[in-house]
Structure 1
Amino acid sequence: MPLVRIDIGNTATPELAQLIGEVVYAAMIEIAKVPQHDKFQIITRHAAEQLIYPSEGYLGIDYTPGIIFIQVFWVTGRSTDVKKAFYRKIADDLHARTGVRKQDVFINLIDSAREDWSFGNGEMQYAPT
């Protein structure tokens, strides 16, 4: 049930945008054990001045205008080890498949309860029993 928001510069190619979505989805299935076909993504392109990051770097990481912001909303319960593996898998695979700098892969996870989701019809499909 993840919802993924991907924010990239408007100079990124359509192919890169598609590959980012594929890499994130593959990591969700392999590492986070998300069910197959549970793919909800919003990819938004931004002008350079709309992607704000510290030009002097942060925590020893330097960024470029090629920065990719990935935010994943999902159900709480995954361990710290799973989250670490998820971050690594996405950064490694994006670098290997597209040449994106690992430093430019910024990921944020937002945990929520199962009852915080409606997949349509105005219903709480994962209502507590």
Structure 2
Amino acid sequence: MPFTRIALRGGKPAEYRKALTDSIQRSLVATFNVPKDDIFMLITEHDASNFVYDNQYLNVQRTDDLVMIQITVSNTRTLEQKKALYKRMVDELAESPGLRREDVLINLVEVLKENWSFGNGIAQYAV
């Protein structure tokens, strides 16, 4: 069950934001074996003073179209799956909504399975 946070500069249309979430979900389904209907995402839009980044860290040339994606998942994926996710996500986002590959920052946060509750105060994944 991924929980995804997407941060970007404000002003993009609803269609753009929908293309972001659709592309990210397709990537998770394809590489992390996430069920299609297992989707929990938040989008936050920021003005320039609240969207701070280095436009050339590690020699990656970023623009104000930068999208920061943080995905919290259970710690059950291999290194190969993670690399496949990063590549697939950049490919999907380049296609729709048309993001430059340099403008996609992905951060994966792994947690233990018992750190999830999907409702009713129950740790559904705890064994």
TM-score class normalised by the smaller sequence: over 0.9
State the match for 1:95 in structure 2: 94
1:87 and 1:12 map into 2 onto residues whose CA distance is 23
2:98 and 2:27 map into 1 onto residues whose CA distance is 17
Could you list the runs of 5+ residues in structure 1 that have no partner in the other structure? none
State the match for 1:85 in structure 2: 84
State the match for 1:104 in structure 2: 103
2:45 and 2:16 map into 1 onto residues whose CA distance is 12
Q: Percent identity?
A: 34
| TM-score (norm. length: structure 2) | 0.96
1:26 and 1:99 map into 2 onto residues whose CA distance is 15
Q: Secondary structure at the match of 1:63?
A: coil
Please provide the CA RMSD for this pair: 0.9
Q: Identify if the C-alpha distance between structure 1 residues 98 and 36 changes in structure 2 by more than 3 Å, giving closer, same or farther.
A: closer
Deviation readout 1:16-50 (Å, 9 max, x if unpaired): 11110001111111111012211000011111221
Q: Secondary structure at the match of 1:42?
A: strand
Q: Secondary structure at the match of 1:95?
A: helix
State the match for 1:3 in structure 2: 3
State the match for 1:34 in structure 2: 34
Give the C-alpha shift of residue 80 in structure 1. Answer: 1.0
- Give the aligned residue type for 1:119: F
State the match for 2:122 in structure 1: 123
- Give the aligned residue type for 1:32: F
Deviation readout 1:56-115 (Å, 9 max, x if unpaired): x11110111110000000010211111111011111111112221100000000011110
2:34 and 2:113 map into 1 onto residues whose CA distance is 13
Q: Secondary structure at the match of 2:32?
A: coil
State the match for 1:53 in structure 2: 53
| TM-score (norm. length: structure 1) | 0.94
Q: Secondary structure at the match of 1:59?
A: helix
State the match for 1:18 in structure 2: 18
Q: Secondary structure at the match of 2:27?
A: helix
Could you list the runs of 5+ residues in structure 2 that have no partner in the other structure? none
Q: Secondary structure at the match of 1:70?
A: strand
